[in-house]
Amino acid sequence: MFYSYVKLALKVLLRRKFFTAISLFGIALTLTVALIGTALFDHMVAPIAPEVNLDRTLHAGAFYLEVAKGDSVRSTSSGGGYALLDKHARDLPGVEMVSIHSRPEQITSFVDGVKIESKIMYTDGPYWQILEFDFLEGGPFTQADEDAGNMVAVISEATRKRFFGEESALGRTAELDSRNYRVVGVVQNVDASRFSATADIWAPHRSRRSQEFRDDFFGRFEALLLVDSKKNFPQIKDEFRSRLAHLEVPAGYDRIVAKGEPGTRLERLAGDGRENTESAISSVALLLWGIAGSMLGWMLLPTLNLININMSRIIERSSEIGVRKAFGASNGHLVGQFILENVILCVVGALIAIPGAWILREWIQGSGLIPFLDIRFHFRTFLYAMGLACLFGVLSGAIPAWRMSRMHPVQALRGGGR
């Protein structure tokens, strides 16, 4: 029976080639954009190099702070200071390794009189063990370099080209922010969507001009917590919140209240971690509902257009429907057949959308909108395309199929008119 329905569906689609071509164009265009959106979202939250351990990594770096100093009371959403993270993010139960890194900072250099602006991230030894960069030359600096304050740096492939052209950078000196650093490693470029790994230059904390940042409770620092198992996430979050509740007030302040917790990449994208609220709906749920709503909104107009085309097809096939109903075809069979026809049409559109999405991806990556962006299509991307196609097919076929099932056989034999 199913095989017969498929054969009939293909014959019906080939009967009116012009309308089928219009439908396929609209479906393919809609699914191409939707597929790029889902691939980009998947790229941002999937464990991809250098963030290969992303599925068991927590990020601590977004806090809600209330600070009282004399008569001044200030509330702000802020990144964590080095002192806050150093005292409260280490030695958490279930955490294998902790790294504290700064957010990328802009610095200026000059090479042969040419001004070069770069983003530098200050970090430590464990950073290179939690993240796995692809080194083109040399290797990472170590915790020993951090402890000794050695003036060493790892640079990206693009930074090597700007400073040294096509020559090797290993062991050479680069003037970064008016200070000389020895290059110990060169890594592949990292796109901006990999929040914890994107920079042009990486250097030890102790290579900074000043070490006063170590006493700051607010600032632009984040901690990466490599957890032994995802099942320990709730326990780690609870312990971290407990530590913040007993925050030791540093000298010079009357009161500090800090709220926040380590979160996954998805929770960070959703904005969780800054402030504990009593909302019954989490930020992650709101983010996912927002993405789903945006996707459905994007598909709404093409769905309505496809519904109109399908209604026209039903009127053309009213005699066929009348004959089948007169010979005992049930409403369920007719509805199932029509929805299957529509799903097949949408699946063909999805097969066209996949190479279309690949072309669009190449254009986006070549445009430089997101530097060094490298969206990769995986097998799950193909499954996304098929899932969206089936959803599109059911949504655009359900109403016409329902209208068809309610058609009286006599009315259908007369051409569908009342």
**Is residue 152 predicted with pLDDT exceeding 60?**
yes
User: Mean pLDDT, to the nearest integer, of 388-417?
Assistant: 69
The predicted-structure confidence for 13-48, as pLDDT tens digits, reads as follows 677 777 778 878 888 888 888 888 888 888 888 898
Residues 30 and 75 in one domain: no
Using 50, 70 and 90 to split pLDDT, how confident is the model at 9? low
| Inter-residue contact 388 to 31 (CB < 8 Å) | yes
- Residue 264 forms part of a structural domain: no
Residues 42 and 151 in one domain: no
Where a domain ends, among 259, 277, 303?
A: 259
User: Mean pLDDT, to the nearest integer, of 50-55?
Assistant: 93
Q: Which of 90-94, 237-241, 346-350 has the lowest mean pLDDT?
A: 346-350
Residues 110 and 210 in one domain: yes
Where a domain ends, among 217, 244, 259?
A: 259
CB under 8 Å to 374, separation ≥6 — which residues?
43, 191, 365
Range of the domain at 113: 63-259
Residues 236 and 333 in one domain: no
- For residue 175, the model assigns a pLDDT of 92
Ramachandran region, residue 224 (left: φ > 0; alpha: ψ -120 to 50; beta: rest): beta
Q: Which residue has the higher pLDDT, 340 or 243?
A: 243
Q: Which residue has the higher pLDDT, 271 or 375?
A: 375
Residues paired with residue 204 on neighbouring β-strands, in sequence order: 123
- Residue 150 forms part of a structural domain: yes
- For residue 276, the model assigns a pLDDT of 47
Residues 163 and 297 in one domain: no
The predicted-structure confidence for 75-94, as pLDDT tens digits, reads as follows 777 788 898 899 999 999 99
> Roughly how many angstroms between the first and final C-alpha of the chain, as a whole number?
32
- Residue 186 forms part of a structural domain: yes
SS3 call for 208? coil
Residues 20 and 88 in one domain: no
**Is residue 413 predicted with pLDDT exceeding 60?**
no
Residues 78 and 136 in one domain: yes
Where a domain ends, among 224, 242, 259?
A: 259
Residues 29 and 149 in one domain: no
- Residue 34 forms part of a structural domain: yes
Residues 31 and 90 in one domain: no
Q: Residue 70 CB: number of other CB atoms within 10 A?
A: 8
Residues 238 and 336 in one domain: no
- Residue 237 forms part of a structural domain: yes
Q: Which residue has the higher pLDDT, 233 or 290?
A: 233
Residues 378 and 302 in one domain: yes
**Is residue 408 predicted with pLDDT exceeding 70?**
no
SS3 call for 242? helix
CB-count exposure of residue 139 (10 Å: 0-12, 13-18, 19+): middle
- Which amino acid would we find at residue 264? T
Per-residue DSSP letters for 132-143?
---EEEE----H
Q: Which of 59, 29, 49 is nearest to 266 (CA)?
A: 59
- Residue 402 forms part of a structural domain: yes
The predicted-structure confidence for 86-135, as pLDDT tens digits, reads as follows 999 999 999 999 999 999 999 999 998 899 999 999 999 999 999 999 99
**Is residue 381 predicted with pLDDT exceeding 90?**
no
> Count of domains in the chain?
2
> Which residue do the tokens 């000059």 mark?
110
What pTM was computed for the model? 0.79
- Residue 278 forms part of a structural domain: no
- Considering the chain, what percentage of its residues have pLDDT values greater than 70? 89
- Residue 253 forms part of a structural domain: yes
Q: Which of 45-54, 132-141, 237-246, 336-345 has the lowest mean pLDDT?
A: 336-345
User: Mean pLDDT, to the nearest integer, of 324-343?
Assistant: 74
Residues 334 and 309 in one domain: yes
